[in-house]
Amino acid sequence: MENKKITQTAGRDGLGDFAPNFAHFNDDILFGEQWNDESISTKTKCIVTMTSLISSGIVDSSLKYHLINAKGSGVTREEIAAIISHIAFYAGWPKAWAAFRLAKEVWTEETAVDEKDGFQQNIMFPIGEKNEAYAKYFKGQSYLSLLSPKTGMCNVTFEPGCRNNWHIHHAKTGGGQLLVCVGGRGYYQEYGKPAVEMTEGTIIEIPADVKHWHGAAKDSWFAHLAMEIPGTEPLTEWREEVTDEEYEAANKDK
């Protein structure tokens, strides 16, 4: 991977007035010169720096900063796991445990992105963007893609373990919702009834005024089309979260 010029202002931002010389050494010498020395690659410098910090027992925000740099410089999840495991034998097991906790935070997002991209390749409809507008009604991360502005048809995608709250589609006449699973595995459950497993091709017609929830299995991504059934004065009422016990019961023996 090509080395990119590294610039740093943390010294001046944090200590410019209190310790200007230290800020100069940090920003201009350490990062401005040493980190831009092309004798070794930035990726190698990141690995050396992480090894030094972990071996010294420094597992605070400074290590996390260098873990982020390492990831940006091409260190993969598999490589960082192997690097910290190797360090453990020489620097100590507790230090490695502490370093792994930070590394998991830095590389977790990459894992989710990789899995999301892989799931996208297996479904024909776009996953869309993070479902921020309705995030308060979901436990876990969901995504929303509006497919037809005229009809309101959407593709809703759930990460493993994600589900929405109990909710009701009200209408004076008609109304309700139609779900069509387009990939992965999930569940639909009406209040007081057993959960129904949904896989690709499963169609669920939800009557108006029925309390229900739907979401992904705990070990699978899940996507479904959602279409409102025409009705008069439709209104969605969001209710309480699906408890962990209710969710686990849906997943049991499926």
Poorest-confidence range of 115-119, 155-159, 176-180, 221-225? 115-119
Average pLDDT value for residue range 24-38: 86
Do 159 and 238 fall within a single domain?
yes
Query: With 80 as the cut, is the pLDDT of residue 7 above it?
Result: no
Query: With 80 as the cut, is the pLDDT of residue 71 above it?
Result: yes
3-state class of 232 per DSSP? strand
Of the three residues 75, 91, 116, the one that is the final residue of a domain is 116
The secondary structure of residue 185, as a DSSP letter, is E
Please check whether residue 22 lies inside any domain of the structure.
Answer: no
Q: Is the pTM of this model over 0.75?
A: no
In single-letter form, the type of residue at position 173 comes to T
b vs e for 139-154, b when ≥16 Cβ sit within 10 Å of the residue's Cβ? bebbbbbeeeeeeebb
Structure confidence at residue 1 (pLDDT): 44
Poorest-confidence range of 76-80, 106-110, 180-184? 106-110
Within 10 A of 49 (CB to CB), how many other CB atoms are there? 18
Looking at the structure of the chain, the number of domains it has is 2
Please check whether residue 154 lies inside any domain of the structure.
Answer: yes
Structure confidence at residue 110 (pLDDT): 60
Structure confidence at residue 2 (pLDDT): 45
Do 140 and 228 fall within a single domain?
yes
